[in-house]
């Protein structure tokens, strides 16, 4: 018997306004060990879909199961948020403490680690990302790429069971992107990665899905349907 799915979305419909649906009966499954690339044009609804998985947006219809728990209410989602790490598309939405070490230690402290443990985890996570020496930097003074890595450190420091990464390579130079590629390849966690960076996705993703007209289809189907003129 295969291991149970980590995320199951069924028949999700979501719109910000009644005239323009973003998700239209979308269904999605993340299985253990999968690294799913979520692609689609600007405005397709990719970020919205990750926010729905975290309970930050509520779909009009459909069901959400995270780690075998049906999630409907804020209480349901708050119970799983420590186990699902979301890297926001905009690093400034993630970083809110004065210094880097405070931002990275915030998650472990919230999970119940004591000060010494949270600091140890934070120093190690920063070191793994090549950020040793950044601990006491003022977060809002960091460059865009540095903020991206610190934001990722805040997520990885919590060692979540599932990673939801919204455009993780944005603002990273080639060297740092290649280090991030190695790190993500080596991580055992299942993840959903939104990116417009094809070469990065080709190296990290085990499967690709695309948001097309509010529905999720496998990467290959998108290409086949487009060739066959089946897109509407
Ligand atoms: N808070 C909001 N209120 C109204 N409309 C919104 C809101 N957030 C997003 N939208 C709209 O919903 C649609 C989906 O947005 P979303 O951010 O999910 O797209 P995306 O696929 O992540 O795009 P990108 O690749 O540019 O990041 C877009 O048309 C966007 O303008
Ligand atoms: Mg987005």
**Domains in the chain, ordered, with CATH?**
7-227 (3.40.50.300)
> What strands lie across the sheet with 61-66, from one edge to the other?
20-30, 7-17, 61-66, 69-70
Distance 42 CA to ligand 2 centre (A): 7
The tokens for 132 are 């040793």
With a 6 Å cutoff on the Cβ, whether 107 touches ligand 1 is no
Encode pLDDT of 29-69 as tens digits: 999 999 999 999 999 999 999 999 999 999 999 999 999 99
Q: Which residues contact 71 (CB under 8 A, 6 or more apart)?
A: 55, 64, 65, 77, 80
With a 6 Å cutoff on the Cβ, whether 43 touches ligand 1 is yes
16, 24, 51, best to mutate for ligand 1 pocket (most atoms within 8 Å of CB): 16
Encode pLDDT of 100-135 as tens digits: 999 999 999 999 999 999 999 999 999 999 999 999
Surrounding residues of ion ligand 2, Cβ less than 5 A:
46-47, 89
């Amino acid at each position: 018997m295969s291991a149970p799915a980590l995320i199951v979305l069924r028949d999700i419909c979501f719109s910000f306004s009644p005239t323009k649906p973003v998700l239209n009966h979308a269904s999605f499954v993340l299985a253990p060990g999968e690294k799913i690339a979520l692609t689609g044009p600007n405005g397709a609804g990719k970020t919205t879909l990750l926010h729905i998985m975290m309970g930050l947006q509520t779909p009009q219809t459909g069901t959400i199961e995270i780690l075998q728990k049906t999630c409907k209410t804020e209480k349901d989602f708050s119970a799983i948020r420590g186990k699902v790490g979301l890297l926001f598309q905009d690093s400034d939405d993630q970083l809110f403490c004065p210094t880097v070490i405070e931002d990275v230690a915030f998650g472990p402290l919230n999970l119940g680690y004591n000060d010494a443990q949270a600091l140890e985890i934070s120093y190690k996570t920063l070191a793994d990302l090549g950020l040793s020496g950044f601990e006491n930097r003022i977060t809002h003074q960091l460059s865009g790429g540095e903020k991206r890595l610190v934001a990722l450190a805040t997520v990885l420091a919590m060692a979540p069971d599932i990673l939801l990464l919204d455009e993780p390579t944005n603002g990273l130079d080639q060297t740092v992107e290649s280090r991030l590629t190695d790190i993500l390849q080596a991580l055992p966690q299942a993840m959903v990665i939104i990116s417009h960076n094809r070469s990065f996705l080709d190296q990290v993703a085990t499967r690709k899905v695309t948001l097309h007209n509010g529905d999720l289809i496998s990467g290959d189907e998108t290409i086949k349907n487009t060739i066959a003129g089946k897109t509407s």
